[in-house]
Amino acid sequence: MTSLKAPAGNKIKLTQIPNFIDGSYTPALSNQTFETVNPATGEAHGLVAHGTAGDIDLAAEAANRAYETGPWAHLSYAERARVVSKIGDLILVNRERLALAETTDTGKPINESYDGDILRSAQNFHFFSQFASTFAEEAYSAGENERHIAVREPVGVCGLITPWNLPLYLATWKIAPCLMMGNSIVLKPAEWTPYTAYLLAEIVREAGLPDGVFNVVNGFGAGGAGEALTRHPLVRSISFTGETSTGKAIMAAASGSLKKVSFELGGKGANIIFADADLSEAIPTALRAAFRNQGQICLAGSRLFVERAIYDQVVEKLVGLVKKIKVGDPLSKETEMGALVSAEHMEKVLSYIEIGRAEGELHCGGERLEALGAGNFLSPAVFTGLPIGSRFLQEEIFGPALPILPFDSEEEAIAMANNSPYGLSASIWTSDINRVHRLSKKIKAGMIWVNTWFARDLRTPFGGQKSSGIGREGGRYSLEFFSEAKTISYRYKG
Ligand code: NAD
């Protein structure tokens, strides 16, 4: 990476972030905008089109026209792959610009944007452009001179609604398979982080995607553009990543027009370390799992359970490492933890830290770092002694605050891991392969890591059980969601 320059302090020029409808950037119908704020400085850096139901109408109509009349829905996988992989190529060409935009919007360290989010966004397009051609259709021969084939067709107009924690990464995780299956898209990015979706629209146009196939409407959720999208009669499916409570609201709104829904929701991952684990791996990984992206990751190992024989040792080592985390300017390459996404979110995290102080023991952190300026900087916190039923352990904090609890037996570890409304992911650290099998079977989560965290193969199913979601993304699971199966049965003369 060459040097990245931040906009100069008080001379910030506000970036205009319009909607993108039918191949053109366009202001909101109301001409209203709202500010998007840099979490590291507290200053506005962009003016975002405030889209509402009328803008969703325009985008859904453009998407539907493109679907009904355009070539995209009828192209072969190979023809679509040429455009979709070009989008991935252009993301790499624009890597620095996109990384800077992502960090300015989210407050995450620039290294994470540049080496993590933006690379993965390009990979999402490259992966699905190749993988879709392996998506087999089915054929059966039931009786003599009879053939039944099951084909896959586009769904039509798909609404994609995405969160602020990994904005481009998670939007492209939906956009790439959705495009490969021949659909048209209306994307509603999170209101806190609209910048990279705006830049992506330019890339999509340059890659040669026909007008109307990809549209972006900015705005808010409940009562705003997000809700309008979930109620729109032309929109046939909603793929949503965000909070569990929002998923429930979307399910109710989308039921009116009976849309397909796929939900990737909240998490409260258990990270379980047994005494026979390789602690030289387990402890630094527990640190990353709890504090990467300021703890704002659905897959975070946000509850750490440690076998009692090694409990004191793990707490001491981990607290030592947490105290050394470099919190600061997200644009500095030395920074390990940046700013939380918004002042509101920081207040929410601080309210949980108050619960932690009242009910348990604070070992480090938990302070607002005012010396770093007006940004949303918190020192990473570690707590022990909290009861398993505490709101601190039950609710998703989505911030840099980790509780550690001891356990005495395998059964107790399983019970603690499952003592949560969520069921997205869990990690198990042990050298006993039989224990791995027993725990993987009994822990209720969509993804289990053994002696690792965050490892992914994009072909495997990604998603959660219980309050963590409905459906799966990844590989053929995404392609199935973004397509309709149709059976064609025929007789022929023998
Ligand atoms: P959120 O639910 O507040 O917002 C997500 C998106 O939904 C935004 O674009 C928002 O404008 C929109 N929205 C809000 N209310 C809406 C409504 N009534 N109708 C339609 N759209 C609406 O979530 P967030 O705070 O942006 O993101 C953090 C959450 O996302 C956490 O709970 C986190 O665990 C979850 N998440 C889950 C995964 C996963 O893969 N399971 C990945 C990342 C984040």
pLDDT, one tens digit per residue, over 234-248 is: 999 999 999 999 999
The number of residues making up the chain comes to 494
Helix 118-131 with 77-93: angle, nearest 10 deg: 170
Ligand 1 atom 42 nearest Cα: 298
Considering the domain boundaries, does residue 462 fall inside one?
no
Residue 463 lies in a domain: no
Measured from the Cα of 263, ligand 1's closest atom is 41
Q: Is 493 among the domain residues?
A: no
Query: Are residue 359 and residue 448 in the same domain, yes or no?
Result: yes
Angle CA 247–251–257, to nearest 5: 145
Look at residue 1 and tell me whether its pLDDT is greater than 80.
no
Stretch 138-166: mean pLDDT, rounded? Answer: 95
> Ligand 1 pocket by C-beta < 6 Å: which residues?
161-165, 170, 188, 190-191, 220-222, 226-227, 230, 241-243, 246, 249-250, 264-267, 298, 396, 398, 424, 464, 468-469
| CATH code of the domain covering residue 181 | 3.40.605.10
Residues 155 and 483: their CA atoms lie apart, in Å, by 5
What secondary structure, in 3-state letters, does 222-262 show? CCCHHHHHHHCCCEEEEEEECCHHHHHHHHHHHHCCCCEEE
In this structure, are 294 and 442 located in the same domain? yes
Other beta carbons less than 10 A from residue 92's beta carbon: 15
The answer on pLDDT for 494 being more than 90 is: no
pLDDT confidence of residue 12: 63
Split at pLDDT 50, 70, 90, the class of 5 is: very low
Question: What three-state secondary structure class fits 358?
Answer: helix
Ligand 1 mutation target, pool 52, 117, 172, 243, most atoms within 8 A of CB: 243
Segment 250-261, tens digit of pLDDT: 999 999 999 999
Check whether residue 370 and residue 453 sit in a common domain. yes
| pLDDT recorded at residue 136 | 86
- pLDDT, tens digit (0-9, with 9 covering 90-100), for 411-445: 999 999 999 999 999 999 999 999 999 999 999 99
Q: Which atom of ligand 1 is nearest to the CA of 249?
A: 18
Task: Over range 460-479, report the average pLDDT.
Answer: 98
Output the pLDDT for position 86.
98
Q: Residue 416 belongs to a domain with what CATH number?
A: 3.40.309.10
Q: Reply yes or no on whether the pLDDT at 354 is more than 60.
A: yes
Residue 94, token pair as written in the block: 């624009």
Mean pLDDT, range 158-162, rounded to an integer: 99
Q: According to the model, what pLDDT value does residue 184 have?
A: 98
Do 292 and 257 have their domain in common? Answer: no
Same domain, 335 and 233: no
Task: Out of 298, 336, 396, 473, pick the active-site residue.
Answer: 298
- Assess whether pLDDT exceeds 50 at residue 297: yes
Residue nearest atom 11 in ligand 1 by C-alpha distance: 221
- Is 7 among the domain residues? no
Neighbours of 456 (CB within 10 A): 12
Q: Give domain status of residue 9, yes or no.
A: no
Co-location of 350 and 234 in the same domain:
no
Instruction: Give the residue numbers spanning the domain of 100.
Output: 15-265+468-487
| Proportion of the chain above pLDDT 90, given as a percent | 96
Q: Is 178 one of the catalytic residues?
A: no
Calculate mean pLDDT across residues 352-367: 98
135 and 225 inside one domain: yes
Q: Are residues 211 and 341 in the same domain?
A: no
162 CA to middle of ligand 1, Å? Answer: 6
Question: Looking at the domain assignment, is residue 247 inside a domain?
Answer: yes
Q: Which of 55, 108, 165 to mutate to test the pocket of ligand 1 (most atoms within 8 A of CB)?
A: 165
Nearest atom (ligand 1) to Cα of 163: 26
Q: What is the pLDDT of the chain when averaged over all its residues?
A: 96
Tell me whether residue 412 is in a domain.
yes
Q: State yes or no: pLDDT of 313 exceeds 50.
A: yes
Averaged pLDDT, 460-468: 98
112 catalytic? Reply is no
pLDDT over 50 at 10, yes or no: no
Average pLDDT over residues 200-213: 98
Q: What angle in degrees, to the nearest 10, is found between the helix axes of 167-180 and 195-207?
A: 30
Are 184 and 156 in contact, with CB atoms under 8 Å apart? yes
In this structure, are 239 and 310 located in the same domain? Answer: no
- Under the banding of pLDDT at 50, 70 and 90, the label for residue 70 is confident
Mutate to test the pocket of ligand 1, among 161, 188, 398, 424 (most ligand atoms within 8 A of CB): 161
Report the pLDDT value the prediction gives residue 11, as an integer from 0 to 100.
55
The number of domains in the chain is 2
Residue whose Cα lies nearest atom 36 of ligand 1: it is 242
By alpha-carbon position, which residue is closest to atom 9 of ligand 1? Answer: 190
pLDDT for residue 356 is more than 70: yes
Ligand 1 centroid to residue 263 C-alpha, Å: 10
Lowest mean pLDDT among 54-68, 132-146, 399-413: 132-146
Q: Are residues 106 and 125 in the same domain?
A: yes
pLDDT of residue 4 exceeding 70, the answer is no
Shared domain for 276 and 224, answered yes or no, is: no
| Domain annotation covers residue 101 | yes
> Among residues 65, 176, 167, which one has the least CA distance to residue 481?
176
> What is the token pair recorded at 31?
């001409």
Which residue among the candidates 102, 227, 264, 473 is catalytic per the annotation? 264
Residues 414 and 480 in one domain: no
Does position 402 have pLDDT exceeding 70, yes or no?
Answer: yes
